[in-house]
Structure 1
Amino acid sequence: MAFDSYCRFQGRSSRSEYWWWVLFVAILSFCIGIIEGILGFSMTAVQTTSGILSLVLFLPGLGLSVRRLHDIGKSGWWILLGFIPVVGAIILIIWFARNSEMTENRYGPVPNMAR
């Protein structure tokens, strides 16, 4: 998972590794939201918890996204497309859903989970 290579931006990550990470983050966020709601946290506490969670998950998610782009033969700099509202996010989602390049590329060998 992304924490295994916490801040590594070299190499490649398979499509399944990326989407398992997205599912993990979504479930974690949902569960924390439910717990905060049940415990009746104030909005300040919710914002603090969300901020801490975002900080902890930012670098592993960024590294994983860059490695996923490498897996389809794109430079990690393409992650900056995410700053273009709507269109950038749509393009990135389409790219993240693409199949891995099944041969070694300039970013490294095919990830094990892609075979």
Structure 2
Amino acid sequence: MYFQWYRYCFSKYFTFQGRASRTEYWSFTIINLLILWVFWFISKLVDIPEEAMSEGIPVFPKDPVLALIFGSLYLIFCIAIFFPSLAVTVRRLHDRNHSGFWVIAQLIPLLNLVVLLMLLLPSSPYPNYYGLRAPRFPGEKVPEAGADIYGPYGTVAYRPQSNGDETVTQQNQNTPAKGSVMDEIMHENLANADAQAGLEDRPAAASPSKSETHRPMRGEESSLVARLNKLSGK
């Protein structure tokens, strides 16, 4: 999972919008720190002075070519992770509902400890200006705040709110197509709705009786009513 988050951060190389969870940020950061340490250790190991060898310290012989290769790889890797590291840090700050400009405070003594605390805190449970929430797993498509998601009965608009709900929906005025069962029910035209649902509609008589003004119950409905009457003691 940690390496999946690592690849995911590279896939969002220049993406500064949205939110990043604590797992996403620290997976990318810790793996980068480990790789940087390995590069630094090897580059120093092949660049140890000859005086250390003469003192009997078991080290690799000084090799300028290897030192140049590993030093160059170290520099290339630092450049390669600069933008994704900056982007995931900004998204992590967004996840705590903080401006991404707080990333500059990492260069200021004492303020960098404040930023570190922000990065260590868990995700804010509320939708905010920067998004509804952080992705729960790599590659999850989180609807953007204010985006319209189209459903069978109209458009569902996601709006950031501060009421604790993860997604807040707002149904617009769109209604189902005219003539559908739902449309007839909403307009209280129950007879036409019964016909569209496959229920037989009996024509009204000149002097309708009680039995003729109601749709007759089907077999399963009659059985259910009989059971209910039996349970109620009627």
TM, length-normalised to structure 1: 0.84
User: What residue number does 2:22 align with?
Assistant: 15
CA distance in 1, matches of 2:86, 2:15: 9
Once the two structures are superposed, what CA deviation does each residue of 1:52-109 show, in whole Å capped at 9, x if it has no partner? 1111010000000000000000010111111212x12211110000111112110001
Structure number having the greater helix percentage: 1
Match of 1:80 among 82, 100, 104: 104
CA distance in 2, matches of 1:35, 1:57: 19
User: What residue number does 2:112 align with?
Assistant: 89
SS state at 2:81 partner: helix
| Higher RCO, 1 vs 2 (CA within 8 Å, ≥6 residues apart) | 1
Contact 2:25 2:88 in 1 (8 A): yes
User: Displacement, 1:50?
Assistant: 2.6
CA distance in 2, matches of 1:62, 1:27: 18
TM, length-normalised to structure 2: 0.44
Aligned identity (percent) is 27
User: What residue number does 2:72 align with?
Assistant: 48
Q: What number of residue pairs does the alignment pair up? A: 114
Contact 1:11 1:67 in 2 (8 A): yes
Distance of aligned partners of 1:99 and 1:41 in 2 relative to their CA distance in 1, 3 Å threshold: farther
User: Displacement, 1:31?
Assistant: 2.6
User: What residue number does 1:106 align with?
Assistant: 129
User: What residue number does 1:24 align with?
Assistant: 31
Contact 1:16 1:113 in 2 (8 A): no
CA RMSD of aligned residues (A): 2.3
Structure number having the greater strand percentage: 2
Give the greater-gyration-radius structure (CA). 2
Where do residues 63-74 of structure 1 align in structure 2 (5 Å cutoff)?
63-74=87-98
CA distance in 1, matches of 2:115, 2:70: 29
